[in-house]
Amino acid sequence: SLHDDPRFRKLLGAVDTSKMTREEGLRHDLSFLARELKRKHYDAFRKVSRDEFEAAWKRLHEDVPRLSDTQFAVRLMQLMRLVGDGHTGLLPPTARPELVKAVPVQFFYFPEGLHVVAAAPAHADLVGAQVVRFNNHPVEKVTEALHTIVSRDNELWPKMIGTHFMRLPAILNGLGLGADTEKLTLTVRGRDGREHTATLAAGLEFARPIRSYAPEGWVTVPQRAGGQLPLYLKNTTTPYWFEYLPETKTVYFQYNSVRNAEGETLEKFAERLFKFVEEQDVEKLVLDMRWNNGGNTYLSMPLLHGLIRSRKLSRRGHLFVVIGRGTFSAAQNTATFIERHTPAIFVGEPTGSSPNFVGEDNPTLLPYSKLPVSISDLYWQTSWPTDRRPWIAPLLYAPPTFDLYRANRDPAMEAILAYR
């Protein structure tokens, strides 16, 4: 009986926006977003005051007539970033393909600077080069601008997800860092110190975020180095797998996604893994989660229980967990559980999220612009209630460096195998 009641339809957001002007439609979206954020979010004003958020909302509401579509999307990201958690923000807008077209290169931040670590074959000459400028803007300026739009639980996550946004000319355009939404002009410095410039066209076929190793067929820095790929780059698209290293009596287990793989559930995989550990001559288990950006936390429970039960792994120095900027969401929960309940030694760099965080992806489609946003509604208190750390920090700090990366060396595994 309520379905056709105008008040009910307005509350639901089921308003016909097709007859609205652009200005009316975008302002309707902003009103709808503000209401849904207050209604759905666990606590939208934990990190930002209500007055500060509403002032930013009002400025955006007033600026709508002067903003292009890309500028509006970026301002929306900046508004939601104020909420202060890594799961509240703009989702990839599949209904708005012009915003997600990406250039066919992959970037990564190293202590030595931002480098091109992979590229489609047409741009193979860029692989390995250090990035100097985007559209004639210094990398530092681009990094600073991207920090204003990346939702995060801590300050390491933008180093991971920010390298995707810098692949999107439309986002750079919205930030005032490029005049073209279809291409990107990149200035790089080679190993010889010489700079050169390349113009890259963006395409939908490159739109999928790259968080680990490169897409199939791309040219990569490790390929050019020659020799055998290190284990952490060997099979990053498979949710989970393990390999035995007999010379060190070590099982290397890469855990890339907290999801059931086709053909073998995570629970069955965990049974097989721990059966191998108990029955074979195994002294160490290395659990590598540096590429794992989440999934369903519940699915990690059999793995956690197996680690707790294992007699071989219950002593300090026999269980190692590799973490990094890409360890996020359900993977962060898994790492936090392991830290609380096992004697694991953590290796690598800090995690991309905090032990306690507000999470969950809850998609909401803005009616007029068709921009999808996520509004987090669950507080994961996986650690102790007073744990306010921004991340889990490794005991053995072994960050990725470009020198080691291009030599096909893994600093985390080297630190583990050298540990006494």
What are the tens digits of pLDDT across the range 344-358? 999 999 999 999 999
What residues pair up with 109 in beta bridges, in sequence order? 114
pTM, entire model: 0.94
Question: 169: burial class by Cβ within 10 Å (0-12, 13-18, 19+)?
Answer: buried
Question: 10 Å Cβ neighbour count for 258?
Answer: 25
CA-angle at 230, arms to 224 and 231, nearest 5°: 140
pLDDT tier at 393, thresholds 50, 70, 90: very high
Would you call 75 helix, strand, or coil by DSSP? helix
What are the tens digits of pLDDT across the range 355-372? 999 999 999 999 999 999
Q: Are 256 and 238 in contact (CB under 8 A)?
A: yes
pLDDT over threshold 90, residue 262: yes
The H-or-E segment that residue 414 falls in is helix 411-418
**Residue-averaged pLDDT of the chain:** 95
> What's the gap between Cα 157 and its chain centre?
7
Q: Are 292 and 317 in contact (CB under 8 A)?
A: no
What are the tens digits of pLDDT across the range 172-216? 999 999 999 999 999 999 988 999 999 999 999 988 887 777 888
Q: Are 290 and 323 in contact (CB under 8 A)?
A: yes
What are the tens digits of pLDDT across the range 62-90? 999 999 999 999 999 999 999 999 999 99
